Chains A and B, each alone.
Chain A
Amino acid sequence: MKKNLARALSVLCASVMLLTVISGCSTAKTDNSGTATGDSSTAAEAGTTAAATSTSGDTGKKEFANKTLDFYMFEGGYGKAAEEAIVAKFEETYGVKVNMVSSPKIGEILRPKMISGMTPDVIMMNLNDSSGIVQALVKEKSILELTPMLDEKALDSDSTIRDTFLSGFLDCSFAVPYGDGKTYLLPLLYSPQGLIYNKDYFDKKGLQAPKTWDDFFALGEAAKKDGRALFTYQGIYPSYLEIMLYPSIASANGIEGYKKYVNYEEGSFKNDAVRQVLTNFQEISTKGYLLKGTTAMNHTQAQTAMMQGKALFIPCGSWMEGEMKDAPREDGFKFAMCPAPTLTAEGEQYASVALDTVLIPKAAKNPELATEFLKFLVTQESQKTFAEKASGIEPIEGTLDLCKSIISESLYNFYAMFNGDVLPLVDSLKALPDGCKVVTNDEIWVKPTSKVMNGQMTVDQWMEDVEKAFSQIREDFCKSGTTVRIILTGLVKERLPSPILLQGSG
């Protein structure tokens, strides 16, 4: 009896354990099949979209057959209040339901979902997203092309969406990832980056923001007399230096030269212009203008040191004001930003921008509504909402003035940097080919920077190493069978009407 009871009990326990595990699996399966059915019905709906997406005569608003939209967004420095407000307005206007998911770790939430086929309709991401979702989507060509949408009229104006954007944003390498003139990612918010300085201190001392490297070093002498260093940077994250050196290189080499660099072309990092810029950069250290201990500091430490008046400049973006709002600072500290120095007084000034972009995955279940949502995100009303609730500015003509009364003075000053002759530098290194194992951040910044600053490495060695990494990347482009953009250096002075494409041999 007893034995039987014990056996029965143990068998029961074991089966419960096993069942739990199995049902765990089967739940996931049911979910999947549920989605799968959803898929096929969506497909069926998509077939009738033309009929289903009709413009209702009364309101002038389109009607959509599929009334749900899955919107996943990265919740970073901008928060999510603006998107929430816009989503609510969108739902109200169109009578649809938007499932909005936001998280600072949205990449990690998205990855398993997308692998199991539950692709959202709209994804909003910061381009520095470390989860690699955007990069992976670009690599796989899994993003819906937005070019047709850009040529449609904006929801609240007669000009096309393309025409409302500030120049340089829609054709940057982020937005046009394959270099074929077709836009896949829509830059939604931009934040300027440059050299941050304390306006109050500059005004008091009668100092001017530098234009050229000579001006910059002259300020170094003035600072020395006052017991300050000229410059510091986020030592253990040296890629912040992009903010200073890329615009300076673009100015020295011309924007075409810079575009060669972001395409990893031969000689794009090893040339006289780059050498001059990097040599100047090294002189910050060798001439004693660098804040002592910079190479050991993280971003918070370096930025705090700058705000406490230990250094005049630090490369950073407009997010710094919010990021450091609790940090100690010297009395009267006022944020201001200037572009990176140029080699000559006539040189064009550039300032790089960080972008938050939206995209529609190819596998989206409701691309029609997603496209409409994207258009809705760039209306004047949405621009104001972003400015008001997130201090975010869209790269659209007139936005800054439209929102001047809404945003803070220092934020306006950051963006106003572009009101002069300063041009935005939007391009960044092109997505790497499949299977490429070069870590560009390591090769360009992490490995050389501290050595160069400590005088253990020459500028020529730096350029040599980067060129070596670039040649590996070009080789990988060929191997992966991806098309490689070759520009005949020296022969072609004008911008080519269409890039010469070379099919990879692999």
Chain B
Amino acid sequence: MNKRSGYIFAAVTIIPGFLLVALFLIYPMLQMIYQSLFNVSSLLGSPSFAGLDNYKSLLGDENFIIAFKNTIFLTLLIPVAVPFISLVLSVLVTQTKLREKALYRVLFFFPSVLPMVSVGILWQFIYHPTIGVINSALNSLGLGNIAFAWLGDERFAMWAVVITIIWQAAGYLMVMDIAGIDRIPIELYESATLDGAGALRKFAAVTVPFLWEVVRMTIVFAIGIATNVGFILTAVMTAGGPGLSTTVLLQYMFTQAFQNSNFGYAMSIAVVVLLISFVISLISNKLTNREIIEY
């Protein structure tokens, strides 16, 4: 009896959330996959069925290949770099004897509360070829010959964006790590200290294994960051240039949809982004699948 009303209660609480997810996430996603099979290049006209033609065109589209490589680069690099850096930061602000720990927490987290576009503009000025902080510093150190136009040079533009993504996202994941670290019993560290373990050893033998579930979660988050934040920041900072050196798939999707009105084709690009995220999540899940330590 009680059980049945429990089910109903569960249903009532779950259904609204499920409906919202279905309406705003699952339905658009299915629509996206469906539309990618059509030549929807118009506003009002009826779309014609294209089968897999859009996907075939992708293979012969060298701009797509470039954007694909750039996206893969980000989705491989960011989910490794950002969770690692945020893990290190979280340990630094929880386990060291730094006096200004509280201040650093705020400082590291601060970029996450800034609007993304502001972050892009801010860093655009940091990298500014003549009045930017970086080049001004290099010039005053007499290193003017390596004061490049960071965002205007194909060799550096993507790396400049990567640094910005890390700066923007690391603090956010750091907070998750801190929450995890706070749950690790203090006795473990105490006994490790008694056993003569140094800071590094404690990090490797206690923190990382106990935090593993949280780290895995931050990796999945970082995959999302690589695709989404990567798009926003490149759109603001470089507009995908110079050349196509920082064009990511979402940027290319946007161009095809809203500059060329090729909505069907754009949807097929979106499907590829979905696949990339999915496959990389699977890979990261496989690679990080360890026995969970319960405590």
Interface status of B9 (Cβ within 8 A of chain A): yes
B152 touches A140 (CB 8 A): no
Q: In the bound complex, what is the Cα–Cα distance between A13 and B265 (angstroms)? A: 42
B261 touches A439 (CB 8 A): no
B239 touches A236 (CB 8 A): yes
Q: In the bound complex, what is the Cα–Cα distance between A6 and B261 (angstroms)? A: 52
Contact with A along B239-261 (1 / 0, CB 8 A): 11111100000000001111111
Q: Which one, A197-205, A212-220, A352-360, A428-436, is touching chain B?
A: A428-436
A296 touches B127 (CB 8 A): yes
Q: In the bound complex, what is the Cα–Cα distance between A310 and B12 (angstroms)? A: 66
Among residues of B, the one whose C-beta sits closest to the C-beta of A129 is B258
Contact residues, A81-131 vs B (CB, 8 A) = 111, 114-115, 130-131
Contact partner, B41, options A21, A115, A434, A438, Cβ 8 Å: A434
Q: Which chain B residues lie closer than 8 Å to A114 at the CB level?
A: 43-44
A139 touches B261 (CB 8 A): yes
Q: Which chain B residues lie closer than 8 Å to A432 at the CB level?
A: 260
Q: In the bound complex, what is the Cα–Cα distance between A407 and B267 (angstroms)? A: 47
- Supposing A140-B43, A293-B128 touch, asked if A439 and B8 sit within 8 A by C-beta, the answer is no
A236 touches B241 (CB 8 A): yes
Q: How many residues of B contact A (CB 8 A)?
A: 48
B41 touches A139 (CB 8 A): yes
Contact partner, A238, options B1, B63, B241, Cβ 8 Å: B241
Contact partner, B244, options A21, A136, A293, A447, Cβ 8 Å: A447
Q: For the complex, would chain A's binding face be called helix, strand, loop or mixed by DSSP majority? A: helix
Interface status of A68 (Cβ within 8 A of chain B): no
Q: In the bound complex, what is the Cα–Cα distance between A448 and B255 (angstroms)? A: 17
- Supposing A114-B43, A295-B153 touch, asked if A135 and B1 sit within 8 A by C-beta, the answer is no
A135 touches B19 (CB 8 A): no
B128 touches A301 (CB 8 A): yes
Q: Which chain B residues lie closer than 8 Å to A288 at the CB level?
A: none
Contact with A along B35-46 (1 / 0, CB 8 A): 000010111110
Question: Min CB distance, B134 to chain A, in Å?
Answer: 11
Interface status of A155 (Cβ within 8 A of chain B): no
Q: Which chain A residues lie closer than 8 Å to B127 at the CB level?
A: 296
B259 touches A10 (CB 8 A): no
Q: In the bound complex, what is the Cα–Cα distance between A131 and B124 (angstroms)? A: 26
Contact partner, B5, options A6, A137, A235, Cβ 8 Å: A6
A298 touches B124 (CB 8 A): yes
Contact residues, A312-361 vs B (CB, 8 A) = none
Q: In the bound complex, what is the Cα–Cα distance between A257 and B116 (angstroms)? A: 45
B260 touches A115 (CB 8 A): no
Q: In the bound complex, what is the Cα–Cα distance between A412 and B243 (angstroms)? A: 37
Question: Min CB distance, A245 to chain B, in Å?
Answer: 17
Interface status of A237 (Cβ within 8 A of chain B): yes
Q: Which chain B residues lie closer than 8 Å to A450 at the CB level?
A: 152-154, 241-243
Among residues of A, the one whose C-beta sits closest to the C-beta of B264 is A435
Interface status of A488 (Cβ within 8 A of chain B): no
Q: Which chain A residues lie closer than 8 Å to B4 at the CB level?
A: 3
Q: Which chain A residues lie closer than 8 Å to B242 at the CB level?
A: 235-236, 295-296, 449-451
A293 touches B149 (CB 8 A): yes
Q: In the bound complex, what is the Cα–Cα distance between A202 and B51 (angstroms)? A: 61
A293 touches B152 (CB 8 A): yes
Among residues of A, the one whose C-beta sits closest to the C-beta of B8 is A10
Q: Which chain A residues lie closer than 8 Å to B257 at the CB level?
A: 132
Contact partner, A236, options B151, B261, B265, Cβ 8 Å: B151
Q: Which of B61, B124, B255, B259 has most chain A Cβ within 10 Å? A: B259
Interface status of A454 (Cβ within 8 A of chain B): yes
Q: Which chain A residues lie closer than 8 Å to B228 at the CB level?
A: none
Q: Which chain A residues lie closer than 8 Å to B239 at the CB level?
A: 236-237, 298, 446
Interface status of B150 (Cβ within 8 A of chain A): yes
Interface status of A17 (Cβ within 8 A of chain B): yes
Question: Min CB distance, B75 to chain A, in Å?
Answer: 22
Contact partner, B43, options A3, A137, A439, A449, Cβ 8 Å: A137
Q: Which chain B residues lie closer than 8 Å to A298 at the CB level?
A: 124, 239
Question: Min CB distance, B234 to chain A, in Å?
Answer: 10
Among residues of B, the one whose C-beta sits closest to the C-beta of A434 is B41
Q: Which chain B residues lie closer than 8 Å to A7 at the CB level?
A: 5, 8
A439 touches B41 (CB 8 A): no
Interface status of B193 (Cβ within 8 A of chain A): no
- Supposing A296-B127, A446-B240 touch, asked if A439 and B259 sit within 8 A by C-beta, the answer is yes
Q: Which chain B residues lie closer than 8 Å to A13 at the CB level?
A: 12
Q: Which of A137, A236, A238 has most chain B Cβ within 10 Å? A: A236
B260 touches A437 (CB 8 A): yes
Question: Min CB distance, A445 to chain B, in Å?
Answer: 9
Among residues of B, the one whose C-beta sits closest to the C-beta of A431 is B261
A441 touches B259 (CB 8 A): yes
Among residues of B, the one whose C-beta sits closest to the C-beta of A7 is B8
Interface status of B284 (Cβ within 8 A of chain A): no
Contact residues, B209-241 vs A (CB, 8 A) = 237-241
Q: Which chain A residues lie closer than 8 Å to B146 at the CB level?
A: none
Interface status of B16 (Cβ within 8 A of chain A): yes
Contact partner, B63, options A137, A293, A301, A442, Cβ 8 Å: A442
Interface status of A292 (Cβ within 8 A of chain B): yes
B5 touches A14 (CB 8 A): no
A10 touches B63 (CB 8 A): no
B262 touches A437 (CB 8 A): yes
Q: Which chain A residues lie closer than 8 Å to B153 at the CB level?
A: 295-296, 450, 454
Other contacts beyond A14-B12, A114-B44, A139-B261: 9, CB < 8 A: A115-B43, A130-B258, A136-B42, A140-B44, A235-B242, A294-B129, A296-B129, A301-B128, A438-B260
Which of A's residues lie within 8 Å of B, judged by CB? Answer: 3, 6-7, 10-11, 13-14, 17, 21, 111, 114-115, 130-133, 135-137, 139-140, 142, 235-238, 292-298, 301, 305, 310, 363, 432, 434-439, 441-442, 446-451, 454, 456
Q: Can you list 24 residue pairs at the A/B interface with Cβ under 8 Å?
A: A7-B8, A14-B12, A21-B23, A130-B258, A130-B259, A132-B258, A132-B260, A133-B43, A139-B41, A142-B44, A235-B152, A235-B241, A236-B151, A238-B241, A292-B130, A292-B149, A435-B39, A437-B61, A442-B244, A446-B241, A447-B243, A450-B152, A450-B154, A451-B243
